[in-house]
């Protein structure tokens, strides 16, 4: 029996959810009762990348924010001038007046601005991590800091993609057993190994994106298969308590796009072999766009050709006018 079947305790160090929120997350069969889901995972990295690397990498993502609900801390991301995307389990049962959003330009744990929340949108009336609806949108009072540029969103196929994970949760090198003080923003990279029902997690949906935390051994390559390599990335990482609601980012020519929000993971210590589970956002395009979110679109080849032709024509006209003068 592989290491991911070890009984786990929920991440509660920095996300103090009521115990009733965990009751539905375990399938009580002879095997699946061993696989309790872990809500609210931050960033844990390998020793090659290290703490300094993760901190420096995370410092640039100033549009990744901390979300608080009066008793708990999660992560989130700016998607419009007034909207923050996060996980529904971070806002469920929370009074709107208790919710706030902390902005940190440099990711050093010194918050530069805090906005209160005007309203919250949740996809349904349940608090289930892996049913594919663990997504919420917060509308904030006041404006964004000038340096917090909204992310665009990604609706493409995520499988096999290099992704970046960013969050304000617990942090450590190789596991959170050696976690550092809370409050700063770290980032790491991974590869999307699976899309569909969450492995080892009991009942779920096809809307779950999964990454695993590799260290070069077959044991840690939890999602081993055709698309999953045992070789870790130089900046390989996973998530830990307090990262819930943080974005799964896809790089398109230096433009980072949100393709999912963090729902949970398999290991309480976030050690090697941990699987992070992300709720995909592409199927909720209509809801997200209603809050001002914008999905990234690639121009058709014909459109690019026409645009180039138009630019050349304008340039030719300008050249003729210069000669006439």
Residue 183 has pLDDT above 90, yes or no: no
Residue 50 lies in a domain: yes
DSSP 233-257: PTTBEEEEET-TT-EEEEEETTEEE
Distance (Å, whole) CA 152 – CA 101: 19
pLDDT digits (tens, 9 = 90+) for 43-62: 899 999 999 999 999 999 99
- What is the C-alpha separation between 123 and 300, in angstroms, rounded? 32
Whether 78 maps to a domain, the answer reads: yes
Q: How far is CA 246 from CA 43, 218, 306, in A?
A: 10, 28, 38
Q: Which of 82, 123, 127 is nearest to 283 (CA)?
A: 123
Q: Which of 71-85, 146-160, 188-202 has the lowest average pLDDT?
A: 188-202
Query: CB under 8 Å to 31, separation ≥6 — which residues?
Result: 5
How, if at all, do strands 275-280 and 152-153 pair?
unpaired
Q: Is residue 312 in a domain?
A: no
Q: Please check whether residue 319 lies inside any domain of the structure.
A: no
pLDDT reported for residue 299 = 55
Number of C-beta neighbours around residue 126 at 10 A: 13
User: Does the structure show a pLDDT above 90 at 105?
Assistant: yes
Q: Could you give phi then psi for residue 107, rounded to 5 degrees? A: 75, 20
Report how far apart, in Å, the C-alpha atoms of 109 and of each of 89, 293, 325 are. 23, 27, 59
Confidence of residue 206 (pLDDT cuts 50, 70, 90): confident
Q: What percent of the chain has pLDDT over 90?
A: 64
CA-to-CA distance for 91 and 99, rounded, in angstroms? Answer: 8
Looking at the DSSP bridge assignments, the partners of residue 189 are: 164, 236
Query: pLDDT for 277-325, tens place per residue?
Result: 999 999 999 999 999 999 998 655 554 444 444 444 444 434 333 344 3
The pLDDT of 255-284, averaged and rounded, is 95
Least confident of 106-115, 145-154, 182-191: 182-191
Is residue 156 assigned to a domain? Answer: yes
Token pair, residue 134, equals 């663990």
Residue 316 lies in a domain: no
Please give the residue range of the domain that contains residue 131.
3-289
Number of domains in the chain: 1
Mean pLDDT of the 132-161 span: 96
Which helix or strand (DSSP H or E) is residue 162 part of? strand 162-167
Is the per-residue pLDDT at 145 higher than 50? Answer: yes
Q: Provide the b/e sequence for 162-190 (b: ≥16 CB within 10 Å).
A: ebbbbbbbbbbbbbbeebbebbbbbbbbb
Using a 10 angstrom Cβ sphere, with 0-12 exposed, 13-18 middle and 19 or more buried, the burial of residue 64 is: buried
* Averaged pLDDT score across all residues of the chain: 81
In a domain, 75, yes or no: yes
Please indicate whether residue 63 or residue 21 has the higher confidence score (pLDDT).
63
On the question of pLDDT at 251 being above 80, the answer is yes
How large is the average pLDDT for residues 254-269? 95
Question: What pLDDT was estimated at residue 14?
Answer: 32
* Phi-psi group of 6: left, alpha or beta (phi > 0 → left; psi -120 to 50 → alpha; rest → beta): beta
Residues 234-238 have a mean pLDDT of 97
Residue 65's domain is classified under what CATH number? 2.40.10.120
DSSP-derived secondary structure letter, 133: -
Q: What is the pLDDT of residues 126-138, one digit of tens each?
A: 898 899 999 999 9
Sign of the CA dihedral with 135 first, then 139, 145, and 150 last = positive
Residue 123 lies in a domain: yes
């Amino acid at each position: 029996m592989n290491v991911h079947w070890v009984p786990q305790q929920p991440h509660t160090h920095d996300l103090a959810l009521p115990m009733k929120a965990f009751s539905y997350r375990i399938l009580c069969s002879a095997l699946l009762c061993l696989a309790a889901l872990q809500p609210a995972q931050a960033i844990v990295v390998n020793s090659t990348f290290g703490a300094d690397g993760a901190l420096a990498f995370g410092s640039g993502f100033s549009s990744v924010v901390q979300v608080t609900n009066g008793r708990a801390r999660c992560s989130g991301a700016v998607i419009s001038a007034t909207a923050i995307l996060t996980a529904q389990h971070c806002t469920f049962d929370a009074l709107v007046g208790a919710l706030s959003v902390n902005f940190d330009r440099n990711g050093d744990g010194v918050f530069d601005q805090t906005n209160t929340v005007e309203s919250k949108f949740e996809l349904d009336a349940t608090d289930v991590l892996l049913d594919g609806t663990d997504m919420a949108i917060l509308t904030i009072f006041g404006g964004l800091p000038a340096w917090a540029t909204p992310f665009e969103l990604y609706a493409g196929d995520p499988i096999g993609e290099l992704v970046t994970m960013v969050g304000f949760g617990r942090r450590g090198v190789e596991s959170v057993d050696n976690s550092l003080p809370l409050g700063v923003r770290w980032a790491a990279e991974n590869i999307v190994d699976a899309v569909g029902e969450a492995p080892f997690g009991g009942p779920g949906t096809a809307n779950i994106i999964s990454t695993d935390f590799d260290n070069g051994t077959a044991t840690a390559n939890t999602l081993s298969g055709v698309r999953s390599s045992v070789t870790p990335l130089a900046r390989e990482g996973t998530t830990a308590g307090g990262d819930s609601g943080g974005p799964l980012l896809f790089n398109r020519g230096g433009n980072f796009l949100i393709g999912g929000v963090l729902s949970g993971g398999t290991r309480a210590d976030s050690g090697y072999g941990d699987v992070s589970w992300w709720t995909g956002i592409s199927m909720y395009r209509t809801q997200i766009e209603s809050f001002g979110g914008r999905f990234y679109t690639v121009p058709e080849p014909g459109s690019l050709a026409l645009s180039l032709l138009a630019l050349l024509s304008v340039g030719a006209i300008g050249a003729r006018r210069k000669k006439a003068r």
